Structure 1
Amino acid sequence: MQATIHNEFLTLTVDTHGAEAVSLKNAAGEEMLWQADPAIWKRHAPILFPWTGKLTGGTFTANGKTYKGGQHGFARDVEHTLLRAEGDTIQLELRADDAIKAERFPFDFVLTSTFRLEGKTVHHTLTVQNPAEAAQELRFGIGYHPAFNVPFDSAHTTEDYEFRFDQPESPMILDASPNGLLSGRCYYQWKNASAIQLTDDLFANDSFCMAGLRTKTLGIYEKDTGRSVVCNVAGYPYTLIWSAPAKPVRYVCIEPWHALPGAETDPQEWSERAATACLAPGQQWETTLSTTFDR
């Protein structure tokens, strides 16, 4: 099922499958989200929960049982409950049911996804709550993975775009090649850079996971017009940029994460792995990604 909200600048549609934004159009009716061509990449803007990236060995253990886990968790692959869609807000919820706890993740949780329009900005808030009555800790990772159409129109090509920081950056790149697991290596790809030129070969070796950014915003800009899609990444310890290695580039992802993929040396025990947060019963945690579409 899908729900749609709009204001004078934006029309947003969210699907209950994955609580995923599947369409965002500007006032001229131009689609700004990637439309999930399965020949290139079959998603639009998935939620990453309860882990980001890959798990070491593709599994984890908890309470003596081994669970298989695909990339980026499972919230993007299951049905969420629509709580409301009215005015400027869409809100959905995912609760751990018996099937999820038996097959995917043996912990109680409530994941609430709230989309709100404000002018040309979409605010997407993820709230995680531990509803457990017993003394069971909820340990999780979380992140965002929106994909934006590039080029913005048929008059432009890949080379007309660049990623821009709001101040010069020398981001530390955390290496996860060749298998998507952290290798323990890190390197500098750019030094004192205010912008990263988009090219058709930029992501030939997969994404760039940037740690320790000082910038408050990271956006994709059309160089001759200044049109842009800009994410507020302040407060996120990691921000990734990525696109599928198709030529020419058809979309770019700006991905603020609060957690990392597994490392090659990670233990299998879930309680021993790094996490975004560890919530005691009754506690909750919240984050918001705000993205402004100036086009």
Structure 2
Amino acid sequence: MPVTMQRYKLAGMNKKQGPIGVFDSGYGGLTVLKEIIRELPQYDYIYLGDNGRAPYGIRSFETVYHYTLECVQHLFNMGCHLVILACNTASAKALRTIQQNDLPKIDPGRRVLGIIRPTTEVVGKHTRSRQVGIFGTAGTVNSQSYPIEIEKFFPDVTVYQQACPMWVPLVENDEYSSEGADFFIRKYIRQLLVQSEDIDTIVLGCTHYPLLAEKLRQYLPPDVQLLSQGSIAAKSLADYLERHPEMAAKCSTGGSREFFTTDDTETFDRQAGIFFEAPVKSKHLSL
């Protein structure tokens, strides 16, 4: 069902400071939030995981767009002036439409940022061979967002992509460090590297995948480097706020963290602690 502006009231929040919103379809965005807090601990943060409708990676562009917009609206209603889509699928399938079509109608003073662009802005600084690999969900790979964005900044870089549909289930079922995970780790590595033996840099294009990094390094050639998005996104956000002091002034600085999930809070708290590497106490949000 289309999201309509009539369903939401922004309650005059423009005049008040508010937390920075961080959104993901599930748990993976917590790996990004963890790095953002490490880089910018002074700000207040609200994390929203749409676990009740995850995974997004297998859903259509239209569905991901409507789900993402609905969650962004909820974060706006909670007082956020700035929302980070800490989800590759949402960044690939929904970000541009929200930025170009929805924000001007909702509130031109608010901002929604993604995590694909910050990664593509720096990937060319890491590769020597100019051959880059992407591990991602089917939705992110099919969107072609990484090749399109990388070409804007580094037209001499060739991009090879590999969808890894089994990796998110392995992580979310706490099987990512088991021996059973090795088969799917090796499988997708082979399928990527067979495309080019000269790949020397691989982007972990899903926020779940940092939990697989240790196993990935066991089976990757030693000279191949892995890029995780958390620290890149955190540095990019710090730079953004420095360049946009008018937005930084709208972000409250009490050092608080709140967590919301559209699914069961007990399950979320248990799983979230793995990604966030700290205890999490969430609240339920009904959509």
TM-score (norm 2): 0.31
TM-score (norm 1): 0.30
More strand per residue: 1
